[in-house]
Amino acid sequence: MGAIQAGSTGLAPRRISAVTGSARAAIAHNQAMVLPAACLFDLDGLLLDTEPLHAQAWREAAAHFGCPLSAEQLLALRGRRRLDCAAQVIHWIQQSGGQPPSSDALLAVRQPIAEALLGHARPTPGAVHLVRRCQELMIPMALATSSSRAAVELKARPHPWLAAIATRVHGDDPELEAGKPAPDVFVLAASRLSVPAAACWAFEDSPAGAQSALAAGCQVHVVPAPDLSGDDRARLYPGIEIFLKSLEQVRLE
């Protein structure tokens, strides 16, 4: 792939070589591009491998109320705020013929399971290197997550490298009007970095998060679940052109 060179940023010209396949096709028409004004990162499933843990917690909580969740349903919960997920699971419980619990009752089952699991989440491949490289090159970063502040603190505690991302928008941020797939979280994250969202690169893994970043106007890089077919990716990630196998495929030079 052709080199992507930095513009007049006040730093020495830099190059980024990244990704394969569809990502190359997406930018092959323009081999001279500037680096992003900022990088906006999702947390769960993107920087930390938490999604299997979240899925286990939702699966066990829904089963407690007599509703087994399918892999497709669990994928639909990815990237969304806790209360939005709870509302969706309650709807599925009702659809399955069960007695729908209140949100508080559902979360009373789910949260202890999740909290016991999430402190053990590991970084995803390439996450630590990419964050540190952005820091070295003075590329501003922000966290754009659906997780609450308390949940982020729990998950980040074993990972001091995440402190490099000081600007954060949490799912319970008082300035956040709507969660993913609405664009608000990425628009707010870019605003706090004083850059336009359209000048940012957003890194996501979930369909809801990808649509959120796309609606905000970011250039979106998606690390989808590895077992998705090409047809599934097209269906779940409409409008997305840049897919990564992992964050290891991003190289800042």
Is 56 found in the same domain as 45? Answer: no
pLDDT at 204 over 70: yes
The domain that contains 78 carries what CATH number?
Answer: 1.10.150
Let me know if residue 4 belongs to a domain: no
pLDDT score of 26: 40
pTM, two decimal places? 0.75
pLDDT at 226 over 50: yes
Residue positions annotated with a catalytic role? 42, 44
Is 162 found in the same domain as 96? Answer: no
pLDDT confidence tier of residue 225, bands split at 50, 70 and 90: confident
Tens digit of pLDDT for each residue in 52-106? Answer: 888 899 999 999 999 999 988 998 888 788 899 999 999 999 998 888 999 999 9
The domain that contains 220 carries what CATH number?
Answer: 3.40.50.1000
Q: How far is 151 from 170, CA to CA, in rounded Å?
A: 9
pLDDT at 28 over 50: no
Q: What are phi and psi of 204, to 5 degrees?
A: -140, 165
Is 136 found in the same domain as 240? Answer: yes
- Calculate what percentage of the chain has a pLDDT beyond 90: 68
Q: What are phi and psi of 162, to 5 degrees?
A: -70, -15
What is the chain's mean pLDDT, rounded? 86
Let me know if residue 22 belongs to a domain: no
pLDDT at 7 over 50: no
Tens digit of pLDDT for each residue in 185-196? Answer: 999 999 999 999
Let me know if residue 13 belongs to a domain: no
What is the pLDDT averaged over residues 164-179?
Answer: 96
Torsion on CA atoms 2, 4, 8, 14, rounded to nearest 10: -100
Please check whether residue 204 is in contact with residue 221, taking contact to mean a CB–CB distance below 8 angstroms.
Answer: yes
pLDDT score of 5: 31
Query: For residues 98 and 109, which has the higher predicted lDDT (pLDDT)?
Result: 109
User: Domain boundary at 118, 141, 167, which?
Assistant: 118
Let me know if residue 218 belongs to a domain: yes
Let me know if residue 8 belongs to a domain: no
pLDDT at 33 over 60: no
Let me know if residue 3 belongs to a domain: no
Query: Using CA of residue 11, residue 203, residue 81, residue 135, what is the dihedral sign?
Result: negative
Let me know if residue 25 belongs to a domain: no
Residue 210 is given by DSSP the state H
Let me know if residue 189 belongs to a domain: yes
User: Domain boundary at 103, 118, 133, which?
Assistant: 118
Please check whether residue 171 is in contact with residue 145, taking contact to mean a CB–CB distance below 8 angstroms.
Answer: yes
Is 74 found in the same domain as 104? Answer: yes
Is 165 found in the same domain as 41? Answer: yes
Domain count along the chain: 2
pLDDT score of 34: 66
pLDDT at 174 over 70: yes
What is the pLDDT averaged over residues 178-201?
Answer: 97
Q: How far is 249 from 78, CA to CA, in rounded Å?
A: 22
245: containing domain = 36-49+124-252
Instruction: Give the 3-state secondary structure percentages of the chain, helix then strand then coil, rounded to 5.
Output: 45, 15, 40
Tens digit of pLDDT for each residue in 121-158? Answer: 999 999 999 999 999 999 999 999 999 999 999 999 99
Give the HSE-up count for residue 179: Cα atoms under 13 Å, Cβ half-sphere: 20
Query: Got the DSSP string for 132-189?
Result: HHHHHTT--EEEE-SS-HHHHHHHHTT-GGGGG--EEE-TT-TT--S-TTSTHHHHHH
Is 81 found in the same domain as 193? Answer: no
pLDDT score of 125: 96
User: Domain boundary at 102, 118, 134, which?
Assistant: 118
For residue 139, which of 11, 2, 4, 1 has the smallest C-alpha distance?
11
What is the pLDDT averaged over residues 8-20?
Answer: 36
Q: For residue 134, give both structure tokens.
A: 């952005």
Amino acid at 25: A
